[in-house]
RNA sequence: GCUCCUGUGGUGGAAUUGGCAGACACGCUGGAUUUAGGAUCCAGUGCGCAAGCGUGCAGGUUCGACCCCUGUCAGGAGCACCA
């Protein structure tokens, strides 16, 4: 058979579609498999081959599961709200709705040409009313449950995109979308109280199967720390300054205190602070700094001492000064810290700069030169003196604080609440009404979806105001509660909203009564295997787990964790070894590859090019290698003979079935393909195989290269599709060899190999080794000291 | 700065997790075929003329180390004054 991919690909894609073989069925008596890939953002530039690699992994798993008899849900959709489309719309003057539709069409075409086994009947588009109605609905439920609040704060603002960004979207002081510098700006911001779920999100990680580095990143992001709260008495008052510390054991070493420049205690004692003008000036200066500038100045500590305000160290009763500095932030802990310069690097730098005492309380370092953060014997510490372990000292100090009624154990998280609004057009309108009499009132559930009004000029307003604010008919409304005149919220939700629950919608995408029926959710959840990019494991993955756990808590979904297993694929780099991007001009369009080499070659190559989880550069000559492989596969059809099986080939086929089956589960697609290539090489050498053997091979390769496999399966006389044929089984006994070649070492160095029975005893192995000429010569005149025999692997003779 | 990951031929990468390093593929070399190019097929391909030497570098543990331990260098990712 000739490998004529152009003649066969459309044919089989049509047949798959006509027979509907990839539609998940709602027969809930069958075992299910829910495989999920991250739905794409339909950008104007179309897909590149990185998307193909991202989907090919679970594509192979899903196809294998179908052949194993599972009812498989392998859906796809489009995460279509967001800034790039809106920016492109402003530039081109084409409405984002139209751009989105065009882009989705383009993406759909690209995906279909690759022959992915997606269930195209369940496509979701986050910008459709029937979808975002439920995004708003979930938000409304959160509002009802008190998880939504509004606060005026300094926010990360991107002057270029004219939009407020979450901390997650503005890492390193750069806008995640346009990569320009962000600035601090005071704004009314909607927050989702994700911090309330910090402990649950952390605890939930214990029962899911995520790759270790994914789990670790989530843990770091949530950033749980255990320590203590302690109250420091303000001198001359009955008032306290409350601090949070993870090192209560070092309290005897506290020589000063630092509070955030915005700390409310400054207002409270304004009249008695001698240098209040200096403090105000410093505070203003800090407010002007961007997050980026703050982090750039890590080493160079700044601050101002508060004149006229001191506190008492509760451990030793000493009076200590209080400073303000921007290295302490209002947003973490209590906005105030006890400073232990001898044992904390930041406090050390600060004390050195301001000439504050440094008192060693833990032995082990040299505090003349640097802070010592390690373990050691407690000194200069009153009742803690002599204790050698940190844990014991901490317990004792917390005990003392609670006895005095001025402190207790405490837990803090790094994770911040989620800034949830954007002043942009292309997003879900936030379903809230501002009423002068009733305050914030949720749009009634029966009025959802709150439609995004169509508008011509959707450029953001100059003051960073949402474009929706310009539409009076949208803004002016009546309060759902009192019926009086009210104003609608004009901000929209961030792009992360729609993707926080899409996997739930796939289970029942056409339901217009609920976001999904309980029956379907119960059957399909949790997602058995979720694969996507590493760039989404802290944001999207945390946000969606949060939404899901919220829905679980209010009884809307049957399981607490949405994803049973999460893996990640590595990037495809451009041929130049750089990250693929439109601006570098090193992208590869999957359509071009399909045109020149065929869809099967594209699929096989993206999985064969390297370890699935690692980044690897695109190489066109290696693509050709995969083409050659599939040509040789097609050639097998001409090698079928009635001569009967040969033991060597039969055994190799069983071994290959075993290896490929296991490798798919481990996402080791590259070695699975290598094993099949190896098998082919052996068959070519041998010259023939039986029709049954070819049938096994074709089914084994089918998840990787389904078009050519369908063609060959049909040529073998099958009426049914290969895609629904049974996954090949292997016989363990036939994967075992009767004899094995093992290495013989003299003093740990390989000197020869011998072929012996697989179950040979040590004595037989040694006898066989001694019969080997090379070994015999090397052992001549020496005494054997030791013999190590590992059956099937190695024989090591130590001789002197 | 902190945390984590990765260093294997000319290249992408294998190695049953302590047991023959370099599977599989690319590339390259030679040959066959071809008017030529391309394609295909055959042979070879870690380094070294050799004995030997080889998994970033230096030590260690072990009968035996790409794998474990200590130190060190390089690259990447994440977090970034988190008290």
Alpha carbon distance, N-terminus to C-terminus of chain A: 61
Q: How far is the CA of A295 from the C1' of B73 (A)?
A: 28
Instruction: Map tokens 């979308």 to a residue.
Output: A177
Question: Token digits for A727?
Answer: 């996954």
Q: How far is the CA of A226 from the C1' of B59 (A)?
A: 39
Nucleotide with minimal C1' distance from the CA of A778 is B51
Q: How far is the CA of A569 from the C1' of B21 (A)?
A: 27
Q: How far is the CA of A73 from the C1' of B46 (A)?
A: 47
At A431-441, the pLDDT tens digits run: 999 999 999 99
How sure is the predictor about A170, in pLDDT bands with cuts at 50, 70 and 90?
Answer: low
As a whole number of angstroms, the distance between CA A507 and CA A124 comes to 11
Q: How far is the CA of A744 from the C1' of B59 (A)?
A: 28
Lowest-confidence pick of A85-94, A261-270, A580-589, A668-677: A580-589
Q: How far is the CA of A678 from the C1' of B27 (A)?
A: 19
Tell me the β-bridge partners of A258: A323, A337
Write the burial class of residue A280 (CB in 10 Å: 0-12 exposed, 13-18 middle, 19+ buried). Answer: middle
Lowest-confidence pick of A46-55, A336-345, A519-528, A574-583: A574-583
Nucleotide with minimal C1' distance from the CA of A616 is B12
Nucleotide with minimal C1' distance from the CA of A797 is B63
Nearest-CA residue to the C1' of B76? A615
Examine the pLDDT at A186 and tell me if it is beyond 90. no
Q: What is the pLDDT of residue A163?
A: 72
Answer whether A537's CB lies under 8 Å from A566's CB.
yes
Taking residues A652-671, what's their average pLDDT?
Answer: 95
Q: What is the pLDDT of residue A421?
A: 87
The more confidently predicted of residues A279 and A779 is A279
Nucleotide with minimal C1' distance from the CA of A632 is B40
Question: Token digits for A547?
Answer: 């939404």
Lowest-confidence pick of A186-190, A343-347, A508-512, A627-631: A186-190
Compute the half-sphere exposure of residue A730: CA atoms within 13 Å on the CB side of its CA: 21
- Cβ-Cβ contacts under 8 Å for A50 (sequence gap 6 or more): A571, A572, A580
For A508-643, strand residue ranges (E) read 529-533, 565-569, 572-573, 616-617
Answer whether A80's CB lies under 8 Å from A425's CB.
no
Give me the percent of chain A exceeding a pLDDT of 70: 96
Nucleotide with minimal C1' distance from the CA of A245 is B83
Question: pTM score, two decimals?
Answer: 0.92
Q: What is the pLDDT of residue A168?
A: 59
Nearest-CA residue to the C1' of B15? A671
Taking residues A764-790, what's their average pLDDT?
Answer: 84
Q: What is the pLDDT of residue A2?
A: 87
Answer whether A123's CB lies under 8 Å from A148's CB.
no
Nucleotide with minimal C1' distance from the CA of A326 is B81
Question: Token digits for A274?
Answer: 């001698």
Nucleotide with minimal C1' distance from the CA of A668 is B14
How sure is the predictor about A643, in pLDDT bands with cuts at 50, 70 and 90?
Answer: confident
Q: What is the pLDDT of residue A162?
A: 73
Q: How far is the CA of A750 from the C1' of B46 (A)?
A: 17
Nearest-CA residue to the C1' of B6? A614
Nucleotide with minimal C1' distance from the CA of A750 is B20
Nucleotide with minimal C1' distance from the CA of A416 is B82
Question: Token digits for A80?
Answer: 């279509």
Taking residues A166-175, what's their average pLDDT?
Answer: 63
How sure is the predictor about A294, in pLDDT bands with cuts at 50, 70 and 90?
Answer: low
Answer whether A305's CB lies under 8 Å from A321's CB.
yes
Positive or negative, the CA dihedral A647, A650, A653, A655 is negative
Nearest-CA residue to the C1' of B26? A622
Taking residues A273-277, what's their average pLDDT?
Answer: 93
Q: How far is the CA of A610 from the C1' of B8 (A)?
A: 14
Question: Token digits for A364?
Answer: 């082990």
Q: What is the pLDDT of residue A54?
A: 94
Q: Of A548, A485, A557, A552, whose CA–CA distance to A516 is shortest? A: A557
Q: How far is the CA of A615 from the C1' of B7 (A)?
A: 15
E strand or H helix at A710, and its extent? helix A706-715
Examine the pLDDT at A383 and tell me if it is beyond 90. yes
Answer whether A174's CB lies under 8 Å from A160's CB.
no
Q: What is the pLDDT of residue A167?
A: 62
Phi-psi region of A339 (alpha: psi -120 to 50; beta: other; left: phi over 0): beta
Taking residues A665-685, what's their average pLDDT?
Answer: 94
As a whole number of angstroms, the distance between CA A249 and CA A387 comes to 10
* Torsion angle of C-alpha atoms A179, A185, A186, A187, degrees rounded to 10: -30
Answer whether A71's CB lies under 8 Å from A27's CB.
yes
As a whole number of angstroms, the distance between CA A230 and CA A243 comes to 5
Q: Alpha helix locations (H) across A257-299?
A: 265-268, 276-288, 291-296
Lowest-confidence pick of A659-663, A728-732, A775-779: A775-779
Q: How far is the CA of A621 from the C1' of B38 (A)?
A: 14
Q: How far is the CA of A625 from the C1' of B26 (A)?
A: 7
Nucleotide with minimal C1' distance from the CA of A297 is B81
Instruction: Map tokens 């290896």 to a residue.
Output: A659
Q: Of A472, A476, A465, A473, whose CA–CA distance to A425 is shortest? A: A465
Q: How far is the CA of A553 from the C1' of B2 (A)?
A: 36
Q: What is the pLDDT of residue A326?
A: 87
Examine the pLDDT at A157 and tell me if it is beyond 90. no
Q: How far is the CA of A258 from the C1' of B45 (A)?
A: 68
Q: How far is the CA of A405 from the C1' of B2 (A)?
A: 35
Nucleotide with minimal C1' distance from the CA of A611 is B13
Examine the pLDDT at A517 and tell me if it is beyond 90. yes
Nearest-CA residue to the C1' of B39? A628
Q: Is A476 helix (H, G, I), strand (E, B) or coil?
A: strand
Query: Between A96-114 and A599-608, two packed helices, what is the crossing angle to 10 degrees?
Result: 90
Nucleotide with minimal C1' distance from the CA of A300 is B81
How sure is the predictor about A292, in pLDDT bands with cuts at 50, 70 and 90?
Answer: low
Taking residues A45-70, what's their average pLDDT?
Answer: 95
At A295-330, the pLDDT tens digits run: 555 567 889 999 999 999 999 999 999 999 988 988
Examine the pLDDT at A106 and tell me if it is beyond 90. yes
**Per-residue b/e over A614-638, b at no fewer than 16 CB within 10 Å?**
eebbbeeeebeebbebbeebbebbe
Answer whether A87's CB lies under 8 Å from A503's CB.
no
As a whole number of angstroms, the distance between CA A508 and CA A515 comes to 8
Taking residues A52-61, what's their average pLDDT?
Answer: 96
> ipTM above 0.90?
yes
The more confidently predicted of residues A711 and A168 is A711
* Average pLDDT value for chain A: 90
Q: What is the pLDDT of residue A209?
A: 92
Nucleotide with minimal C1' distance from the CA of A796 is B63
Q: How far is the CA of A44 from the C1' of B44 (A)?
A: 49
At A130-141, the pLDDT tens digits run: 999 999 999 999
Q: How far is the CA of A352 from the C1' of B71 (A)?
A: 32
Nearest-CA residue to the C1' of B27? A621
What positions of strand B are covered by protein, i.e. any atom < 7 Å from a CB?
1, 3-5, 11-16, 19-21, 23-27, 39-42, 53, 63-65, 77-83
Lowest-confidence pick of A119-123, A365-369, A667-671: A365-369
At A387-398, the pLDDT tens digits run: 988 889 999 999
How sure is the predictor about A176, in pLDDT bands with cuts at 50, 70 and 90?
Answer: low
Q: How far is the CA of A335 from the C1' of B60 (A)?
A: 49
């Amino acid at each position: 058979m000739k490998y004529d991919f152009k003649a066969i690909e459309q044919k089989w894609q049509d047949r798959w579609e006509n027979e509907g073989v990839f539609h998940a069925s709602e027969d809930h008596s069958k075992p299910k498999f829910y495989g999920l890939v991250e739905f794409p953002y339909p950008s104007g530039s179309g897909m590149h081959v990185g998307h193909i690699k991202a989907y090919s992994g679970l594509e192979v798993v899903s196809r294998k599961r179908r052949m194993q008899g599972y009812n498989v849900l392998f859906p796809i959709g489009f995460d279509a709200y967001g800034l790039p489309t809106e920016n492109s719309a402003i530039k081109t003057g084409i409405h984002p709705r139209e751009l989105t539709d065009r882009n989705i069409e383009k993406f759909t075409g690209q995906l279909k040409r690759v022959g992915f086994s997606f269930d195209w009947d369940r496509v979701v588009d986050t910008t459709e009313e029937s979808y975002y109605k439920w995004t708003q609905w979930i938000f409304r439920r959160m509002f009802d449950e008190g998880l939504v609040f509004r606060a005026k704060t300094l926010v990360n603002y991107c002057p270029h995109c004219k939009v407020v960004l979450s901390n997650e979207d503005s890492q390193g002081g750069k806008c995640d979308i346009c990569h320009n510098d962000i600035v601090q700006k005071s704004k009314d911001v909607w927050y989702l109280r994700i911090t309330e779920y910090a402990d649950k999100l952390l605890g939930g990680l214990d029962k899911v199967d995520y790759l270790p580095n994914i789990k670790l990143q989530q843990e770091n992001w949530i950033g749980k720390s255990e320590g203590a709260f302690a109250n420091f008495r303000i001198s001359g008052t009955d008032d306290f300054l409350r601090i949070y510390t993870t090192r209560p054991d070092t309290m005897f070493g506290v020589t000063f205190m630092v509070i955030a420049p915005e700390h409310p205690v400054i207002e409270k004692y304004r009249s008695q602070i001698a240098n209040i003008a200096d403090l105000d000036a410093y505070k203003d200066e800090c407010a002007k700094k961007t997050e980026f500038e703050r982090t750039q100045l890590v080493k160079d500590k700044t601050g101002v001492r508060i004149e006229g305000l001191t506190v008492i160290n509760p451990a030793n009763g000493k009076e200590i000064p209080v400073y303000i500095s921007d290295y302490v932030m209002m947003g973490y802990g209590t906005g105030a810290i006890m400073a232990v310069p001898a044992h904390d690097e930041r406090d050390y730098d600060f004390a050195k700069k301001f000439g504050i005492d440094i008192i060693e309380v833990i032995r082990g370092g040299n505090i003349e030169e640097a802070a010592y953060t390690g373990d050691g014997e407690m000194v200069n510490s009153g009742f803690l003196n002599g204790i050698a372990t940190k844990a014991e000292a901490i317990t004792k100090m917390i005990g003392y604080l609670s006895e005095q009624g001025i402190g207790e154990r405490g837990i803090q998280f790094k994770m911040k609440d989620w800034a949830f609004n954007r002043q942009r057009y292309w997003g879900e309108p936030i379903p809230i009404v501002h009423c002068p009499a009733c305050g914030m009132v949720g749009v009634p559930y029966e009025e959802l979806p709150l439609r995004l009004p169509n508008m011509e000029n959707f450029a953001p307003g100059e003051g960073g105001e949402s474009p929706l604010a310009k539409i009076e008919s949208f803004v002016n409304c009546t309060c759902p509660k009192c019926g009086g005149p009210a104003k609608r919220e004009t901000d929209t939700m961030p792009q992360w909203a729609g993707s926080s629950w899409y996997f739930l919608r796939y289970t029942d995408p056409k339901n217009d009564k609920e976001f999904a029926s309980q029956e379907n959710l119960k059957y399909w959840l949790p997602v058995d295997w979720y694969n996507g990019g590493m760039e989404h494991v802290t944001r999207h993955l945390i946000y969606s787990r949060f939404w899901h756990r919220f829905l679980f808590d209010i009884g809307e979904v049957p399981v607490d964790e949405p994803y049973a297993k999460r893996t990640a694929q590595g990037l495809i780099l451009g041929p130049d070894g750089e990250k693929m991007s439109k601006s570098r001009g090193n992208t590869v369009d999957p359509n071009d590859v399909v045109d020149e080499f065929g869809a099967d070659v594209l699929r096989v190559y993206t999985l064969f090019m390297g370890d699935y989880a690692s980044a690897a550069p695109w190489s066109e000559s290696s693509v050709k290698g995969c083409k050659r492989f599939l040509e040789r596969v097609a050639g097998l059809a001409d090698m079928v003979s009635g001569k009967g099986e040969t033991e060597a080939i039969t055994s190799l086929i069983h071994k290959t079935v075993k290896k490929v089956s296991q490798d798919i589960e481990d996402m080791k697609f590259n070695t699975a393909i290598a094993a099949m290539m190896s098998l082919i090489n052996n068959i070519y050498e041998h010259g023939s195989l039986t029709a049954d053997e070819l049938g096994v091979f074709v089914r084994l390769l089918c998840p990787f290269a389904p078009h050519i496999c369908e063609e060959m399966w049909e040529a073998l006389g099958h009426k049914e599709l290969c895609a629904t044929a049974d996954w090949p089984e292997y016989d363990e006994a036939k994967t075992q060899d009767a004899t094995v070649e093992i290495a013989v070492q003299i003093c740990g160095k390989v000197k020869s190999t011998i072929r012996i029975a697989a179950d040979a005893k040590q004595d037989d192995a040694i006898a066989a080794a001694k019969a080997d000429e090379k070994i015999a010569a090397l052992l001549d005149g020496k005494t054997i000291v030791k013999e190590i025999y590992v059956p099937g692997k190695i024989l090591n003779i130590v001789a002197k």
